[in-house]
Amino acid sequence: MAKIPDQIGKYKILSHLGSGGSSIVYLGMHPTLKRKVVLKKLNLRGKKSFYESFLQEAALMMDLNHDHIVKVYDHFKEGSRHYMVMEFVEGVSLDQFLEKADSLNHDTIRYILRCCCKALIYIHERKIIHRDIKPSNIFISNKGDVKLGDFGIAMHGGPLDKDNENTPESYPLVGTPAYMAPEQFAGKGRITPRTDLYALGVTYFELLTKQKLFYGETLDEMRRAVLKGRHPSLLFLIRSYGFNSWRIIRRCIFRAPILRFSSSKKMLRALRSFRMNDESAQEDLSFRIQSLSSKSGPVKRKSESVGKKGFSQVLGVKETTGGRLGGLVIVSVFILLLGGSLLYSGRFYQWFLPDKYGRFLLELTQDTPGDSFPLETLELYRDEGGSPRLLDQWNEFAFEKKPLVKRTGFYRLKVSWGNRVIWKSFYLPPMTEQQDEVLTVELSAPPLLSQLLEIDLLLSDGLTGQLLDPDGHVFIQSPNGEFSPLSEESMVVSGLEYLVKADLPGYYEAEFDIVLEFYQNSLILEAALKPLPGQLIVHHNMDSLSLKINNRKKIKGGNQSEDIEHFGSLNMEGGSWLLSPGIYELTWAGSGWKEKQKLTIRSEELVVFRITQDENDLPRFDIDRKQQSLGE
């Protein structure tokens, strides 16, 4: 490892923070502000594009001033090296945090996402697209602040155009494959703010599950997984994390950008539909970060650990001789704890106010066997004649099955179960009437019912657009692995994953992995099928012979992978090529002659040219045609 410099520019270097493929990062000290800063050194030479990208990141970030974005203070050049001076976030990146910490509670996860959304709103309004949202670019400070950083591949000025496209001379891809949207893999995809929201949805999934949404052992496998939407079924999110969490993630990761949230503001609004307590979430993050960074073990909160100190020291009260004041404090604390216990358990109301308070139990039931919607939100209102007054609110994680004590009277419950909302009112009698009984209010969860699908099959020739008859040629694989014909009358239900196969004579077989969510009730399969090729073979005895197709020496072939077919000068062995069905112009040339011909190639047809030289050294063409099977 190279020696760490003592000074760079006017900044004293304290330590080496890390290195990447293109930069080295140091921790430094500002000479006058006496504040720790991060110095990022560009570690590549020669290519102008690297310097331009580095300076672009510095220029972009120096203009940004937001609570949830890492600040850039300066950039400069010393010798032949470029440097950027940034805010030092004393804490960890989100990926480091996920690796070391236990599972986050859901309020804290949503707090992190809301902070990221606020940062995205800020940059998107300035026509900046980050293009690399992922846990390692999200930083959490010891105070629980969340900041978005690393704008090294950010794009300024709207949708991607030719000037913004990366070429093999710069980077093979722009972004991190596991978090890239389909349009980032598709070379000419249009990059928009919805690209960032896709990555944030993938990050949301990882925060909940601590698992990657997409996997691939190679870059090509990852690309195919993203482009085809191959990821685990998200239905378990409903059961484990709630309908709203599933809905937000599902909306973010649609392959078609038009189906995603239209803006980061709308995603933030969806995240605010949950119960929010950002102050508590920030405190939870701060505590966890400090626990991870503490060398002596987990950090203890003062309120949770008395240690060897007495109660008087914890409460900030000075003890007097004889400990009288300390004794009074202990007695007061005991009385408060006893009173709180009585209030919490409801015994206080049962003993002292039984005619004014009642007890009830909210019980979640299930009418039918099988999976059901989890509780999304439950709200308790007091019915006071006018507008009901909200008293309590629970979600699927905060709800506990235990008796509640409230003042006697009429109440209303609003229950949200996925796509169903239920209002239920009830009267709570006083405990004097209840005696030892507890009023039970049953809430029945609706089942997750699969739906019968409406099916439309539209198959066409991928070259001509001609519609094809799918009857008897499209098959669906059921969950038990068996294939059966698929038609518009087939009994196919939602909530499952299927493999659909189109196998028409004269066309390459096409397969489609289809994941149907439980709420989807229509399947439209529009498939443009690639026809099987014909084969062109040439035999000749000419002294010299060359061939061009459509005035070119190479064209895209007709096999499934569309390999390039090469023409030009032909040796005495002639040649053989697979060509897609269509009409071609053949240009033949030899010593002192040239001839053009039109040739129609049909699917699975073999066309053989035999070219012989006559007594005048001119060519004579014989053509044979026959059908053959190329489908294997």
Q: Would you please indicate which residues are annotated as catalytic (active-site) residues?
A: 132
Backbone angles phi and psi of 352, in degrees to 5: -110, -25
Quote the radius of gyration of the chain (alpha carbons, Å).
Answer: 35
CB 127 within 8 A of CB 155: no
Task: Single out the residue of 41, 54, 44, 45 nearest to residue 85, CA to CA.
Answer: 41
Task: Single out the residue of 117, 447, 457 nearest to residue 272, CA to CA.
Answer: 117
Of how many residues is the chain composed?
A: 632
CB 494 within 8 A of CB 520: yes
Q: How far apart are CA 240 and CA 32, in angstroms?
A: 52
The sheet with strand 138-141 has its strands ordered as 91-93, 138-141, 146-148
CB-based burial of residue 33 (10 Å sphere; 0-12 exposed, 13-18 middle, 19+ buried)?
exposed
Most distant CA pair in the chain: distance in Å?
134
DSSP class of residue 462 equals T
Task: Single out the residue of 149, 148, 146, 150 nearest to residue 289, CA to CA.
Answer: 146
The 10 Å Cβ neighbour count of residue 410 is 14
Tell me whether residue 36 is annotated as binding: no
CB 627 within 8 A of CB 615: no
Give the pairing type, strands 605-613 and 534-540.
parallel
Task: Single out the residue of 254, 208, 155 nearest to residue 517, CA to CA.
Answer: 254
Q: How far is CA 180 from CA 191, 390, 440, 515, 536, in A?
A: 11, 42, 50, 21, 42
CB 193 within 8 A of CB 263: yes
CB 584 within 8 A of CB 548: no
CB 88 within 8 A of CB 38: yes
The upper half-sphere exposure of residue 36, i.e. CA atoms within 13 Å in the direction of its Cβ, equals: 10
CB 530 within 8 A of CB 462: yes
Position 549: which residue type? I
Q: Spell out the residues 6+ positions from residue 301 whose beta carbon is closer than 8 angstroms to its own.
A: 287
| Count of H-run helices and E-run strands, the chain | 14, 35
∠ CA(557), CA(562), CA(565), 5° rounding? 30
- Which residues are annotated binding-site positions for ATP? 40
- Which residues are annotated binding-site positions? 40
